[in-house]
Amino acid sequence: MSDVTIFKDSTAVASSAPRKSAMSQILKSSITTRRIQTNTNGTFKRLLNGDQMGDAVRGEIDVIIVGALSDISRVYYKEKYDPSKEATLPNCWSNLGDKPEEASSDPQSSTCISCPQNIKGSSDTGGRACRFQRRVALLLANDPSGDVYQFNIPAKSLFGKGSGNTHPFESYVKFLRANNEAADTVITTISYNLNADSMELLFTPVRSLSDEEYNLVVAAQEKPETKRYIELTVAQVDKVEKAPSTSRFQRLDRTDIMATAATTIEEPKARKKKKTTASKAEPTKELADIVEEWE
């Protein structure tokens, strides 16, 4: 299996423990951020402060997942993704999927359940404009440095049923628990689902950790960047500073938020579609609806 590494000679013997460096302290000018990026061409890229380091790895990588939030996060961008445009921060996001974070520059509602972007049909594709995602912190297998990376798991890679020991992420966590293991006690292969029409990731356990790998996990879970990576959005980790465009929805001030929170909020209702003369097809369930039933 391929590993993301900076060295040309991947078979060289490495030190069993991280080494102190006087040069790193001299040249260190700001907080370093690391992220593993997925791509629609089926590759993984290692990013340092938003810039690619080394060659991309195709197909799959082996990792150890060392951190994740208790609940699924949500993120909303008003503008469609355009790789030719400069990256921006999201308009709104929620780490625990309950309410916008204070750092959101354009919160869409006081709570996620009452948000207009949480209504089925709010996106151009007919789904929900605000998307589910998991941001996890991980180590690269066979990397004795103990460097922690952020990794983003999109909605299509979160839910659904697995086959054998290969699963979408939420199912994978339950599968490990049922077998007396956890994401931070095994080596995990993250691979692309070759049978999917769009980009989807799958998770497979490789083996239990060695004592040396377990010690790296314990040390990584005490590092401040581990918590930072699961709470910050991808754009923040990549040090994107450009603010997003403002929303067409009126921004709520603190008084409005407090007043809304004090009342009982009903579940948003789907927008009505225009009548057509064509025969009605059997409706299909949106991913979020399946998720709500599954939960």
Q: Could you tell me the pLDDT band of residue 264, with boundaries at 50, 70 and 90?
A: very low
- Specify if 291 maps to a domain: no
pLDDT tens-digit readout, 134-147: 999 999 999 999 99
- Residue 76: name the closest of 62, 94, 64, 92 by CA: 92
Mean per-residue pLDDT over the chain, rounded: 80
Residue 242 lies in a domain: yes
168 close to 190: Cβ distance less than 8 angstroms: no
Domain that holds residue 260: 32-269
Range 216-243 average pLDDT:
88
d(CA 8, CA 29): 27
Among 35-39, 51-55, 243-247, 255-259, the range scoring the smallest mean pLDDT is 255-259
In a domain, 132, yes or no: yes
In a domain, 178, yes or no: yes
CA separation for the pair 156, 131 (Å, rounded): 10
Mean pLDDT of the region 256-275 = 45
Determine contact, residues 110/257, Cβ cutoff 8 Å.
Answer: yes
Question: Per-residue pLDDT tens for 268-283?
Answer: 455 555 555 544 444 4
Whether 276 maps to a domain, the answer reads no
Q: Is residue 135 part of a domain?
A: yes
Instruction: Identify whether the C-beta of residue 57 lies closer than 8 Å to the C-beta of residue 3.
Output: yes
Residue 140 lies in a domain: yes
Q: What tens digit of pLDDT does each residue of 168-209 get? A: 999 999 999 999 999 999 999 999 999 888 899 999 999 999
Judging by DSSP bridges, how do beta strands 149-154 and 43-48 pair with one another? unpaired
Least confident of 17-21, 164-168, 198-202: 17-21
Task: Check residue 171 and give its pLDDT.
Answer: 96
* Average pLDDT value for residue range 13-33: 63
Q: Is the pLDDT of residue 225 over 60?
A: yes
Q: Provide the number of structural domains found in the chain.
A: 1
Q: Give a yes or no: residue 168 inside a domain.
A: yes
